[in-house]
Amino acid sequence: MAALQTRLRNLARRVSASAVSTRTVRMVNQRPIASFSFDDFPKSAATSGAAILERRGFRGSYYLSARFQGLTEDGIDYYDSDDVVRLADYGHEIGCHTASHVHAPDLGRARLESELESNAAFLREALGDVRMTTFAFPFGDIDLRTKLFMQDRFAACRTTSAGINRDIADLGALRALSIYSGTTDAERLRAVVRESATPRSWLIFYTHDVSATPSPFGCTPELLQAAVDAVAEAGFDVFPVRNALGPIRFRT
């Protein structure tokens, strides 16, 4: 019962947060844009996932929580500091996902501030003076208060609310689509890509591990490859989330 109440409360929060668009921009990009993001992030996302993007000349967004560094949890190996350095050197984005992967709506302001500051300090330790400019909500947990809090501190925030950003993008709560092998397949992803291959469209994908035997929150290399091939063949520009913020707002 408690679990059901928690689920209903989280659902209500998400609905209320996405119903109030408070940081909207009118998109102007003539070519559709796609972004690929990896949350937490497992080592396989930094190796197999990055390789699939890089073979096409694309770069991704990696949403980092300090807590996962060097960890093996539930059979998944997570990134180490060498992975972070290599990804950044190759032009991938390292974004913020809170230091301890928290349920943000449950925390007060001071704790949220310290979550962001310690995650930033962790990245400075690994990379020097590099700022994380975009954010992804851990667990997709968002309410209006945390949306306002995060959108004041980051250039853009990505949710797990399913959808395509079209015509108007809410930079405080960008919509995204999962690439999970357990819940989608190449045909469905190709259909989504076809449907969003229009001007003023931004399709953001997210996943976790990229493995032949993926977790429920990950995908096979073949499925990621299918999504990457689909956007490439449909003429999308592919940018990390931070790099898409210019093209959606300003004509080039």
Place of tokens 């989608």: 184
| Conformation bin of residue 118: beta by default, left when phi > 0, alpha when psi is -120 to 50 | alpha
DSSP symbols for 186-222: HHHHHHHHHHH-STTEEEEEEES-B-SS--TT-B-HH
Write out the two tokens for 5.
């109440």
| The only residue of 32, 33, 39, 143 in contact with Zn ion, by rule CB under 5 A | 39
CB of 97 or CB of 200, closer to Zn ion:
97
As measured in angstroms, the least distance from the Cβ of 97 to Zn ion is 5
Closer of 138 and 218 to Zn ion (Cβ): 138
Minimum CB distance to Zn ion, residue 69 (Å): 14
Whichever of 158 and 200 has its CB closer to Zn ion, that residue is: 158
Q: Which residues between 68 and 87 bind Zn ion (CB under 5 A)?
A: none
Binding flag, residue 115, Zn ion (CB under 5 A): no
Q: Is 127 left (phi over 0), alpha (psi -120 to 50) or beta?
A: alpha
| Contact by Cβ (8 Å): 228, 17 | no
Going 185 to 55 to 201 to 137, the CA torsion angle's sign is: positive
Over the window 151 to 170, marking each residue x when it contacts Zn ion by CB under 5 A and - when it does not, the resulting string is --------------------
* CB closer to Zn ion out of 73 and 233: 73
**Nearest approach, Cβ of residue 39 and Zn ion (Å):** 4
What are the beta bridge partners of residue 239? none
Q: Which of 174, 155, 157 is nearest to 166 (CA)?
A: 174
Distance CA 211, CA 180 (A): 11
Residue choice 138, 172, 218, 240 for contact with Zn ion (CB under 5 A)? 138
Number of residues that bind Zn ion (CB under 5 A): 3
The widest CA-to-CA distance across the chain, in whole angstroms, is: 53
Choose the stretch contacting Zn ion; rule: CB under 5 A; options: 25-33, 135-143, 177-185, 188-196.
135-143
Nearest to 27 by CA among 251, 195, 232: 251
Shortest Å distance, C-beta 131 to Zn ion: 20
The one segment of 10-18, 51-59, 133-141, 219-227 that binds Zn ion by CB under 5 A: 133-141
- Within residues 40-59, the interface with Zn ion by CB under 5 A covers 40
Q: Which segment (33-41, 144-152, 170-178, 179-187) binds Zn ion by CB under 5 A?
A: 33-41
Binding site for Zn ion (CB under 5 A): 39-40, 138
